[in-house]
Structure 1
């Protein structure tokens, strides 16, 4: 070192322009030499540390030259790809991608590092493994500065992402698939439907909603476990029928399925697929040697993708499915736009019932029953009339079915019962014993309402009416209710003193009275037995009528008839033993004021 310092100090001192003495120059050179001597061991140590880290790192690392060719790889990188390090040297980094898409992602990373100020590029890609399969890796491409200003050396670092990717795929699958059947779930079905109707979509789309008929019978009768196996069987059959690249089958609800078909479609072809599916579902599904038969109803919509959005398509399929079920189940129904337009008006009407009731748009209407002996009004059947603000006057048959769907049957029935009893009290106060009794036909939902008996009793007490002023009309269908709830309510009300009226059309209806021990006072003959003698005395019809009346007399019943259209028909009925009639011959419908007029006149 001393010799080195003296040599360079002497040379510098002999240089023109050096103004420092040799001793001072020697000191400076010594300091520079010491610094240089100290720097070399540190650099070498840093290099050793990097080399050790690179070689022993569990992370796969590939060093590349400026153009992207691999210069060196560590052991972990070779093991991750199942290849020897020497076999990877000289290959371009993009050649490591398993697919063209993966190679493109690697190329994008290299370009972004070279052309932007990005310090690193991260992505999940599949790299090519030696066994020709792809292996998932979370990659990082970073830039190491080169030995020339502005030069960059890419380094590729990889971490095994197979387990994470598998877990994420499992979670993703679970999030979009039904765990019971393995079909797509409602969330994925909705997403695919929206994608199929994007603005750039072309051709046609078909949506099929399919629902198992009476699935509750299977679930309740054989158990939920058997029901689950049946659903898996249904899913398998649907997948077989609707197998196709542009077809998606999904489970949307408990026993509801959806099928989405895209492409150049023909309505007849879609219907053929649905018919085949319904036929296949009709074949028993065997669970533990038990052959379980199922049937299904389906609603079908086929249209151009430009004709409305997802909500419109789903609504149309739902409506078509409802129509199929209403038509008797075990069949399909194609969506009909004209029927839909009419139904929309009906459904809108049903939705308005609650507001109309609150706003006083309903009124009472009556059909009078006349005693044939003295032609006086014996009773009035109370009904409802809706004074709609746009459609005018609507009779009950135009809105009561909708009320049943929307849950407004009970509110309407209670309002009818309350108001008609109030009118009965008014007539009784004005006319005394000449006042007509009020007959109310109870809708089934109201007949089984637990508050009905209390409501009737409260209204009778409020108006000071005897229970005999109220008649309650029912029919055989209500009496045959398997749960017996209607019978129970009617029995309690009859014990209060209300009179029970049964509409009958044949001998079987009459026999329900003794069979169930009903306290019926009146029967009303209706239907063919009355219509048959409207235009004359048919012998067979007359014999049938006589048999009914004879049996009714044996049961101590008062006998009336409805649907009477003329005085001649009324006279023929009276000759056979009918004592009271109602129908167009008397009046189709009258208001409460018109009832007053009929009573005041003393006859019809």
Structure 2
């Protein structure tokens, strides 16, 4: 029974080694068991005699020497040639066993006069010593993962080793002889237990592995080297929609999507065969026909000889991940409102197209489109209406562009069009005109029809710029030039525009520095009452002197201040300085001079504007009744729902509101009934010709007459002659200012004017 168990266990170990379930050193355990099992089998079949003792002793020797080889490093035992050791041992054992039975005369003398010979003892002692060496190896180097199996092998070796050593003390058929056999029998029983332990451990591992594979969320498929499916897990069936019986024995290409060409699969197999590994994203098809993306990893399983025995494929369904990536891509590169490319993606296209144009020696054009009148629609009809308008404009532009062109929303009410493969720049002008026409066409927003226009700036590559940044900049410059030229038109970039743009940037830079350094000065233009022609106050005007040069004209830096928002701190400084100076003069000269200060749209729309203005007046201890705030007609009409309440609050605190440049804007006297206006200032354009019978004279008379009816004070601007002053006084105009009354004066000169008797 022991011999049969040893042979069976040897075969089992060989099978497990082929599956790489045991370490390489176990090949020597299989070799030992194979040799001892066969030789002891021959020994058990013989009657007591020379061959009987010989086979028993030679089995101990071969077993001990072979078992001792377990101490060799695993890299040695892993050698493919050594994997044939059990087969070689089986062959040698069979030959030796048969020879020992047939040719007994060749066997050396093993016993004499009831005792064993030195030869017999040496064979058993050397074999026993080999077993003891193996026992030491297994007992003292037991690992946690196979501790039980190693201890069983250690006990097996110890029993065989003790039997080999005990052989020296035994006499044929005495008690020691039988103890020697009992020890060997127990050794075989231990090896049988070892066999059962290995089998149980392997079964548990297989069961656990199966449960792990079946319960993992990743799909797993195992194939043979030819690609035939041997096994799948539950996740594979769930993801693909196929039943297990539909796939076993089949080929994984049953789920090919058809998206990848033959070259893709050839490259995959080329890498898999050369490296034993492939990983990547691939599209497959579910049973119901749906195509889905997956992240696939394929590994080749190889034996000790390096031959591929199986392939294992593991994949995840990454449909949700791809969907999330697509959403992130849309967020990063597409405008969520219009679904057009955004500025980032537009720039990538621009870099690609300019590079292509450079190689092909063709031109490309960049168009910047800014909508005129969009703010009015957005403010009056609401943001939802503004969004609807932007979407319709985007659809029109996209429909008009060629398939090869790129239309993008760059932000706000600004769009970009990139035209590639341009042969003649004149084509762009025609396209721009058609786009302007499309934008001008009525747009239905909700139940209301609105009309807007656009300004388009055009820059051509490589004529107008050699880099993407310069092309962007020049198209932007051209667009602003189109706006400044009256809007609702298009303008090609010209080099002179760039010079102006550079000058403007320099002006803005200097303006920032001037605000930080308080580099401005206040001038005061006198105002007189026409009843007695006495000085009643002034209008505070900002001046920006340049060291060593002429002052910068206000019409040059005020628009830049408005655009950049610097007008707010500048306006606060003007108000504070004008109030401070006027208060000092009134205290010094005992006067009640008033001061007028211009209020910009940026200041008016500033949060807490009323509180900020009152705070400045309080800090300067200046009476509100002596302050006039001048606003323009366009500012007054910009958003009446906002402006009227603010102006009423200011008026309630005693501040006078003056309507500047009256007659140049909406020119409707009816507005004067609705708005909290205390003073109107007739624009200088009406004062120039006040000769009898002129239209200007009639308009001025009408304004004065209606203003008196509404109890509104009238101030005439731009008075430059005595005749103009006489006309105004004759028709009961209240106040006047202009070069005839007095030019704008620095503070010191205005103070001298006040001091005159």
TM-score under structure 1 normalisation? 0.70
Using the alignment, how far apart are the partners of 1:580 and 1:274 within structure 2?
51
- Give the corresponding residue for 1:169: 322
- In the other structure, the counterpart of 1:421 is 579
In the alignment, is the contact (CA less than 8 A) between 2:368 and 2:457 conserved in 1?
A: yes
Quick check: which one's helix share is greater? 2
Q: Per-residue deviation at 1:11? A: 8.3
Specify the alignment match of 1:116 in structure 2: none
Structure 1 residues 174-253: aligned runs within 5 Å: 174-177=327-330, 178=334, 181-185=338-342, 187-193=344-350, 202=359, 204-210=363-369, 233-245=392-404, 247-253=405-411
SS in 2 for 1:364: strand
1:284, 1:291 within 8 Å by CA — same for their partners in 2? Answer: no
Q: What SS class does the counterpart of residue 532 from structure 1 fall into?
A: coil
In the alignment, the residues of structure 2 paired with residue 592 and residue 126 of structure 1 have an alpha-carbon distance, to the nearest angstrom, of: 80
Which digits, 9 at most, give the CA deviation of each residue in 1:533-557, with x for residues without a partner?
A: 4xx6565544444444455555666
Measured at CA, do residues 377 and 127 of structure 1 come closer, stay the same or move farther in structure 2, by a change above 3 Å? closer
Measured on the aligned residues, the alpha-carbon RMSD in Å equals 5.6
Deviation (angstroms), 1:384: 0.9
Within the candidate set 455, 458, 461, 2:618 is matched to 458
- Please name the residue that 1:67 is paired with: none
Q: Distance in 1 between matches of 2:569 and 2:426?
A: 45
Distance 1:17 1:279 in 2: 119
What residue in structure 2 maps to residue 411 of structure 1? 569
In the TM superposition, residue 385 of structure 1 has moved relative to its aligned partner by 1.0
Pair 139,429 (structure 1): closer, same or farther in 2 beyond 3 Å: closer
Whether 1:368 and 2:526 are equivalent positions in the alignment is: yes
Cα shift readout 1:71-98 (whole Å, capped 9, x = no counterpart): 8564879x98999999979x9xxxx993
Classify 1:571/1:101 alpha carbon distance in 2 versus 1 (closer, same or farther; 3 Å): farther
Instruction: Report the Cα distance in structure 1 between the residues aligned to 2:340 and 2:746, rounded to whole angstroms.
Output: 59
User: Helix, strand or coil for the counterpart of 1:393?
Assistant: coil
Q: Higher strand proportion, which one?
A: 1
Shift in alpha-carbon separation, 1:181–1:429, aligned structure 2, 3 A: closer
Report if the CA contact (8 A) 2:406-2:418 is conserved: yes
Q: Which residue does 2:600 correspond to in 1?
A: 443
Looking at structure 1, the residues matched to 105 and 372 of structure 2 have their Cα atoms a distance apart, in angstroms, of 112
Distance 1:328 1:11, change over 3 A: farther
Q: Cα distance, 1:580 vs. partner?
A: 5.4
The equivalent residue for 2:113 is none
Query: Unaligned stretches of 5+ in structure 1?
Result: 65-69, 114-118
Question: Displacement, 1:233?
Answer: 4.7
Deviations 1:269-307 (A, max 9, x none): 34444444444455567789x686564636444443794
Structure 1 range deviating more: 550-559 or 233-242: 550-559
Deviation at 1:383, TM superposition (A): 0.8
Is 1:565 equivalent to 2:723 in the alignment? no
Give the drift of 1:15: 8.7
| CA pair 74-180 structure 1, distance change in 2 beyond 3 A | farther
Asked whether 1:592 is paired with 2:747, we answer: yes
Deviation at 1:483, TM superposition (A): 2.5
CA distance in 2, matches of 1:18, 1:583: 148
TM-superposed deviation, 1:364: 0.8
Shift of 1:6: 2.9
Change beyond 3 A, Cα 1:172–1:396: same
C-alpha distance in 1 between matches for 2:635 and 2:259: 74
For residues 326 and 210 of structure 1, what CA distance do their matches in structure 2 show?
14
Q: Are 2:136 and 1:7 equivalent residues in the alignment?
A: no
Larger relative contact order (Cα-Cα within 8 Å, sequence gap ≥ 6)? 1
Deviations 1:392-449 (A, max 9, x none): 522433222222222233322222222222222332334334x754332333444562
Distance 1:106 1:406, change over 3 A: same
Q: Is the 8 A contact 2:633 2:662 kept in 1?
A: no
Preserved contact between residue 181 and residue 235 of structure 1 (Cα < 8 Å): yes
Report if aligned partners of 1:447, 1:486 keep a CA contact under 8 Å in 2: yes
Decide whether the 8 Å contact of 2:524 with 2:538 is kept in 1: yes
Distance 2:673 2:701 in 1: 21
Distance 1:558-1:182 versus aligned 2 partners, 3 A rule: closer
Structure 2 counterpart SS, 1:565? coil
2:62 — aligned with what?
Answer: none
Partner in structure 1 of residue 271 of structure 2: 109
Name the CA distance, whole Å, in 2 between partners of 1:366 and 1:568. 24
Per the alignment, do residues 141 and 374 of structure 1 end up closer, same or farther by CA in structure 2, a change over 3 Å counting? closer
Distance in 2 (CA, whole Å) between partners of 1:544 and 1:120 is 92
TM-score, normalized by length of structure 2?
0.58
Q: Given the superposition, is the C-alpha separation of residues 140 and 372 from structure 1 closer, same or farther in structure 2, using an over 3 Å criterion?
A: closer
The separation in 2 between residues aligned to 1:510 and 1:281, in whole angstroms, is: 30
Larger radius of gyration: 2
Residues matched between the structures, number: 565
Give the distance between the partners of 2:680 and 2:381, measured in 1 at CA: 43
C-alpha distance in structure 1 between counterparts of 2:431 and 2:266, whole Å: 42
